[in-house]
Amino acid sequence: MDIVIPYIKDVLKGEELRYALRSIERNLTGWRGVHIIYGDYFPDFLENAAQEPPGGDHPLGAFQYEDTPGRKEYSVYRKLLAACAIPWITDDFIYWNDDHFLLAPLDVKDLKPWHNGALSDEIQRPHHRRWREAAKNTLVLYPFCLNFDIHRPIIFNKKAFRAIFEFYQSEVCIKSIYRAAVGLGGYFVDDLNLDPFLKYGEIRAAIEGKLFASSKTGITHDYLEVLEEKFPDKSKFEI
């Protein structure tokens, strides 16, 4: 099964993506190739990535699809729709974000549709204004849906994804809409999305024994130090 990562330029120019890829290579089994869909910037530490299809000794591919400024979720699902049109990407693919860090061994067959409860409950907690807009739009369509838009990957089917998102224009919670539209439930987990003010020792303690981790507003120097300690070896994708 392939992995698809929509990438938007961040202030650290791909450092989150670097460690997400290292965590995939070290801990995930059962995947075939990784496809990065980027907008106006591609991290320069990735070796020979801007080619499709990947395969053999070159399991990383990339292609460009422009972002729509100020419309994060729309840009992401348009990129995923573009991936759905590529014939060599597997019919079922793993949607992975650049801030998903896999901390322990996991096989693709053990990936679950994870959520952290009702989206209507999650929207009551502090969130960025744009995410709240997407959540409100989602709840208009599916008032009782669960919140699958947590910091863990999820498996999408290309045909189902196209049927759901092809005519959408608004900001919505992509994973939650997908699971609600296909009428399927999931598995409850706590979302380990760490506060940016945590220090090195606190981050190490928080991720101990966890399967996935992320950060609310990007990774800090302390978080980078922990990730480098956790994943010191370059992935096969890096220069």
Cis, bond preceding 53 (omega within 30 deg of 0): yes
| Strand runs labelled E in 59-100 | 60-64, 92-95
Judge whether 142 and 176 are in contact, CB under 8 Å: yes
Checking if the pLDDT of 50 tops 80, the result is no
- Both tokens of residue 166? 């092809």
**Res 180: pLDDT:** 96
Contacts of 57 (CB under 8 A, 6+ apart): none
pLDDT of 11 > 80? The answer is: no
Quickly name the fold that domain 2-107+115-230 has.
Spore Coat Polysaccharide Biosynthesis Protein SpsA; Chain A (3.90.550)
Averaged pLDDT score across all residues of the chain: 91
Per-residue pLDDT of 70-128, as tens digits, reads 899 999 999 999 999 999 999 999 999 999 999 999 999 999 999 999 999 988 876 67
pLDDT in tens, 136-167: 999 999 999 999 999 999 999 999 999 999 99
Share of the chain above pLDDT 70, in %: 95
Residue 233 DSSP class: S
pLDDT tens digits for range 58-83: 678 888 999 998 899 999 999 999 99
- In the chain the first and final C-alpha atoms are separated, in Å, by 25
The rounded distance, in Å, linking the Cα atoms of 144 and 150 is: 17
Tell me the domain boundaries of the chain.
2-107+115-230
